[in-house]
Amino acid sequence: MLRFIQTVGIIGFFICLSIMYMTNHGVRGIQKYYPSFQIPDMRFHYSAEQITHDFEQIGNAGRTIYQRYLYLDFVFIICFIILMLTISNSLFSRTIIRNFLFAICILRALFDILENSFLLSVLKNYPSINKSVISVCSYFTSFKFIMLYIWVFAVIIQLILMGITKIKAF
């Protein structure tokens, strides 16, 4: 059963990414209304002014597409955490390190869920913009990226250490 969940999560990860970035149901669709639009949750930090400007530029149709994108992003979060946990479990044998990375993965997902929820709230209340909500949301985005960077750094270090161990074995 675990292998099935891992397989579905990994395949779902790539399917979600494809839909979100290669179809009109995601970034491409939004950029038809504002070509220089950047997804807020893919920036490390953003301001209320940037979000207000971007949401105004993409118009109602672009905001609708972005709302759907964020709903799909919830599915992506589930698939991504499955992928991250699978990689962590495969690479790390020491329980304390593996559990630390599991916590990092869970925190990354939690910050992503909070970020999406806050962005959906802003979209649903548009054109009324609550700058405090956007400010808090931007911090969730930053924390999400920090958790991702910690995890990626640990994975890269582990892969290097595994490579050095194999080289020494020869």
- Summarised one tens digit per residue, pLDDT across range 38-79 is 999 999 999 999 999 999 999 999 999 999 999 999 999 999
| Cα 24 from Cα 45, distance rounded (Å) | 25
* Residue numbers of the chain with a pLDDT score lower than 50: none
Asked if 55 and 34 count as a contact pair (C-beta separation under 8 A), the reply is no
**Hey, what are 67's tokens?**
């709302």
* Per-residue confidence (pLDDT) for residue 167, from 0 to 100: 83
Reduced to 3 states (helix: H, G, I; strand: E, B; else coil), residue 155 is: helix
Length of the chain: 170
